[in-house]
Amino acid sequence: MTTPNLKDAVPPGHQFPREIRSALLEYDKVDKEIGAFKYEKLPAGRKRIRLLRLSPGVLNNPQIDCEMFEAEFNEHHQLITVEKQIHGQTSNITQQCNRNSITREDEKKANDEDVVKYEALSWRWGDEDNSPYTIMIKKNGARYKEQLYKKRVSRTLGLALKYLRLPAKDRILWIDAICIHQADGEERSFQVSMMSLVYTRADEVCVWLGEDDDDSTRAIKFIENEVSKLKNFDALCKDKEHAADWGALLVLMQRDWFSRRWVVQEITLARKATVYCGPECIKWRDLAIAVELFVEVETATHRLSELMKKDDKFALVPYWFEHISELGASLLVNATARIYRDYQRDQDGSLTDLNRAVSRRSLLSLEYLVTSLSIFDCGRPHDSVYALVAIARDAAPQPPTSITERTKDGIITAVFSDQLEQKPYPLDYTSPYPDVCKEFIHFCIERAAKADPLQALDILCRPWAKDWRPKHPKPDTSEKSDSKEGSKTESDAQKKTMIKHNGPWMISKDVNKSSRATAHPLFHATKSKVEDSRSCQQYFKDSEREPVNHLIKKWFREPASTETPKDEQMNEVQRPERRKTRKEKRGRINEKKDEEKVVRKGHLMLPSWVARITDAPFDIFLHPGMDMVKMGRKNADPLVGIPQDGHRNYSAGQSNGVDMKSLKFRKRARLGHYSLYVKGFCVDRVKEVAQVSQGGAIPATWLDMAGWSKARRFGSFDSDPGDPPDSFWRTLVADRGRYDRNPPYYYARACKETIMKGGLRSNAVNTTDLIYNERNSIIAEFCRRVQAVIWNRALIRTEKDLLGLVSDKVKEGDLICIIYGCTVPIILRKERKKTEEDLENEKCEDFAELMKRLMTKCEKARSRKAQYREGSEEWVDILNKRKNKENVNRDKVNGQAGAGNNDKKLDDRRHKKDAYVSDEDDLSEDESEEEVERPEASAQTGSGDEQGKSGIAGHQKQANERDPYRHYKFLGEAYIHGMMDGEAVREKFYKLKPDHMFELR
């Protein structure tokens, strides 16, 4: 198949009215005898994909006919058909191929005629399952009505297929929504890991922006006829008649396709791309050049915004193109130009060397891509990470390997993962989203700890995660979904049984069927046993139905003591509990009930240490005076900035990097939380919180808190309120200027002019009006920096009389801490103190999670051993001899060790257990508050080194005893003036402050 020319790619559509061009076939109006399309299982472990052959058609025909067939990539990355139909006859290569495999002999016979030429579609997803529209699909070249199927598609996809089909010949396309069985999580994970290969090998990527309108038509003609001709570009930025053209281009750049996260990978990997908008089309390279010129001129001189004011239609809205550089189209063009080094291309922009295009390497890390491209949205929360793995320099997409099936590539990457530049990154759509977030954060910390451990934990302060909440299980609608889509509702991975255990699992006879999961053989040794025939998956599924307290009683206590005497039950009912009363006063009852609901459902909320995308600096929304959405600021920029190799904005932790040995992740699903353990120390506590900055304005109450109340009382314009306090104006700009450098000296004078001219009499300094109306570039630059720092943040004063900026969630009494590996201070809120029962529950949960990992590891080991046993009997004899030899050597060593070592090990275990649980007398409520040293408290004044060492040792011992009983809520980063460049570390050294292990939830 040859790629159609650009002029002939889309049939002429302006000859038909838009109502006819937009008509699609409805699902309910199709003959009821035609069944819903059903997917066939693709063979596991092979690089096989489905393709769609789009039949010819015209725009006035609403029915879309196509054919589904399969193809497979060989070792040379050539796509060969598995069942190639040529006018109803099977080719010779297909007759020799098996349905589930293509042999190497068949691959050698592949010639140019057998290699499939196809195009890949890039489009904005819609509601595919509930759409009223359909396409007609033939399987395996069937020509009969009973072999014709219908499949629901969204309106966007239906129109894309209708406009892209050719008038007289077929067109082969790869479309992710159709060619991947989206209901099968295992298949989707494997197919997504191959998407980089699919888009790289495609002859062309077809970008579908949607239906055309007056703005899109005008913008495309403006690019082709005017912007591409650079010799007249200055006139385009000055002439009033071109104001509407630039406005139309802005509307085109804000189409939904430009805000989709998957398009970054699809455009970056494309050898050649064409943009389609209704019947109009343009080369992607021409559109990218126009966007680059647009952003360059506006950000450097704001000439285009001044041009819009000359037109009466746009004059009422100042700065039409404000924050144009943060628009999705601008970030997309910038990212695609930076991810790969550009190889030699033809004049049309296509790559000339396909082999080099396949093997090229990225220049940007996965952390940079995910955090800097947060403006791009995705339908599934997993895609916030998975959509960018294939184009990262330090990650390679890897499907989750099953227990019994491992591919050759999977084995190689698993063995040599430490030596590979691109570490294998598993893609698993069946995994809960909190687990996906944990894997991404752990991956970023591990990679950053090797390059720069001082900023490894900055990922906790960069917003990136999709705001996600667990959904409650819905009733079974398998019959309805089957009749609707004809797809499977249960994943094949769930139906797959585990490897059978040679020795039977045993459970007690007298245990009820409803609580079989709690009858563990280790804790019921005195009762009679029967064989437990359940699979491991069913075992863990049943165990989640039981509350944690019952599990603890049945697993960790003696069976004889599980029944409580009646007199003790009466005493428990009559004896009031003091902690329940305190929880009622603190209003925690409703909060605990909500946590119990989540625990019963088996879902977890996103922990506080996962930064949500809702805290991102920019977003697209409606603005006053405009009938369209536009990019605008909604939050301040992150203080940690974007990840850059060898550069960091601050150094609050000085030379203390992340401690990977103490860093721990603990998932406790039954307890309803996901914990992250980090090491650090407390610096200060929030004493006073001022009003939050709305819209980047400086509230008047901030001046009172900063000690500059005179500025609020100055009379005439000529009166002098005095210079602003140094700590105040530096806090407003976070002690940084443009490009995160040291602030210039004139910022102090610019701060004074801003306060005097910004309308302080209205109780706030309007920085936006100063940017738009004050004809002073210095003031405008200062106000833009202030907005980037204070937007939606609050000014605080600490107990040590320091000024700072925090998020709007911070309250009085919250802790200001430094964690090792983070370049800025953070805010933590201490939650309720844990009890002995809470610690016991956590031990039980950690033990259950450990058991799951060990069981999975054991299953994999058993599978590999079974494969070796089946392959060679000699290998079994070798293993048996080696095992017998190891047993003999072990017996000799154990005999020489003696019984004294065993007693010593037992004492060590008891000592560790006693050290973990401390006395209640040392954990009183008064002592638990002494985490932060009060300002009036003086440092230890010992003259000798021994006294200093004993003092820090005592403080550290108390901290180690208290930390297991505490957990905190992460409230984000903070700017604390005078604590951003290692001052807190030096204070900790001189005042002998201890380190803490913070449990973040």
Distance, CA of 369 to CA of 335 (rounded, Å): 8
Q: State how far the Cα of 856 lies from the Cα of 841, in Å rounded to an integer.
A: 23
Q: Check if the beta carbon of residue 362 is closer than 8 Å to that of residue 421.
A: no
Listed range (59-63, 213-217, 346-350, 612-616) with the worst mean pLDDT: 346-350
- H/E stretch holding 21: helix 18-21
Amino acid at site 362: S
Q: Is residue 240 scored above 50 in pLDDT? A: yes
Residue 348: closest CA among 289, 290, 269, 284 = 284
DSSP bridge pairs for 152 = 134
Q: Bridge-partner residues for 673, per DSSP?
A: 668
Query: What's the pLDDT band for 881 if we cut at 50, 70, 90?
Result: confident
Closest to 186 (Cα-Cα) out of 44, 299, 56: 44
Q: Tokens at residue 201, please? A: 């090998």
pLDDT band at 339 (very low <50, low <70, confident <90, very high): confident
Position 821 scores a pLDDT of 96
> What one-character DSSP code corresponds to residue 224?
I
Beta-carbon count within 10 A of 763 CB: 12
CB 276 within 8 A of CB 165: no
Predicted confidence (pLDDT) at residue 483 exceeds the cutoff of 80 = no
Q: Report the share of the chain in percent with pLDDT over 70.
A: 67
E strands in 693-832: 698-699, 764-765, 793-798, 803-807, 815-819, 826-830
Distance, CA of 666 to CA of 298 (rounded, Å)? 48
Cα–Cα distances (Å) from 325 to 150, 226, 302, 493, in that order, read: 43, 22, 12, 44
pLDDT digits (tens, 9 = 90+) for 884-942: 777 776 666 566 555 455 555 445 544 444 443 333 333 333 334 445 554 444 444 44
Q: Identify any residues that bridge with 345 across adjacent strands, giving them in sequence order.
A: 351
Catalogue the long-range contacts made by 493-500 (C-beta closer than 8 Å, 24 or more residues apart).
Answer: 493/185, 493/186, 493/402, 493/430, 494/537, 496/402, 497/535, 498/403, 498/535, 498/536, 498/537, 498/859, 499/403, 499/404, 499/859, 499/862, 499/863, 499/866
pLDDT computed for residue 547 by the predictor = 47
Per-residue model confidence (pLDDT) at position 321: 79
**What pLDDT, on a 0 to 100 scale, did the predictor assign at position 350?**
58
Q: How far apart are CA 411 and CA 396, in angstroms?
A: 14
**Mean pLDDT on 36-46:** 87
DSSP one-letter string for 852-887: HHHHHHHHHHHHHHHHHHHH-HHHHHHHHHHHHHHH
Q: Assess contact for 634 and 619: CB atoms under 8 A.
A: yes
Q: Is the pLDDT of residue 525 over 50?
A: no
Q: How far is CA 123 from CA 58, 258, 264, 718, 878, in A?
A: 21, 9, 12, 60, 57
Cβ atoms of 155 and 126 closer than 8 Å: yes
Spatial contact of 30 and 134, defined as CB atoms under 8 Å apart: yes
**Closest to 186 measured CA to CA, from 422, 405, 480, 394:** 405
Position 634 confidence tier, pLDDT thresholds 50, 70, 90? very high
Q: In 506-640, which ranges are continuous DSSP H helix? A: 536-543, 548-556, 566-574, 578-586, 589-601
Written as six digits, the tokens of 11 are: 């049939």
Asked if 106 and 94 count as a contact pair (C-beta separation under 8 A), the reply is no
925 phi, psi to nearest 5 deg: -65, -30
- Three-class DSSP category at 285: helix
Q: Which residues are 36's β-sheet partners?
A: 150
**Residue 925 has which token pair?**
């409520």
Rounded alpha-carbon distances, angstroms, from residue 939 to 489, 956, 989, 990, 994: 65, 15, 10, 7, 13
pLDDT confidence of 531, banded at 50, 70, 90?
Answer: low
Is the distance from CB of 950 to CB of 986 less than 8 angstroms?
no
CA distances from 68 to 38, 151, 503, 571, 890 (A): 11, 12, 47, 71, 61
User: Rounded to the nearest 5°, which phi and psi values hold at 429?
Assistant: -75, -10
pLDDT range class, residue 434, cuts 50, 70, 90: very high
| CA–CA gap between residue 844 and residue 549 (Å, rounded) | 10
Provide the CA 123 distance to its chain's centre, in angstroms: 21
Report angle CA 17, 22, 24 to the nearest 5 degrees.
Answer: 135
Q: Which range, 48-62, 113-127, 301-315, 492-506, has the best average confidence (pLDDT)?
A: 48-62
In this predicted structure, what is the pLDDT of residue 542?
66
Cβ-in-10-Å burial (0-12, 13-18, 19+) of 568 comes to exposed
Residue 249: is its pLDDT beyond 70? Answer: yes
CA distance 177 to 164: 16
More confident residue, 303 or 657: 657
Which of 42-46, 191-195, 368-372, 538-542 has the weakest average pLDDT? 538-542
Would you say 831 and 968 are in contact if contact means Cβ atoms under 8 Å apart? yes
Question: 182-222 pLDDT, tens per residue?
Answer: 999 889 999 999 999 999 999 999 999 999 999 999 999 99
Q: Are 373 and 466 in contact (CB under 8 A)?
A: no
pLDDT at 701: 93
**Residue 643 Rama label (left phi>0; alpha psi -120 to 50; beta):** beta
Report which DSSP code applies to 351. B
Residue pair 432/405 in contact (Cβ under 8 Å)? The answer is no
d(CA 614, CA 603): 21
pLDDT of 335 > 90? The answer is no
Predicted confidence (pLDDT) at residue 495 exceeds the cutoff of 80:
no
The helix/strand/coil state of 276 is strand
**What's this model's pTM, rounded to 2 decimal places?**
0.79
Give the alpha-carbon dihedral of 817, 819, 822, 824, to 10 degrees.
Answer: 10
Under 8 Å between Cβ of 649 and 739: no
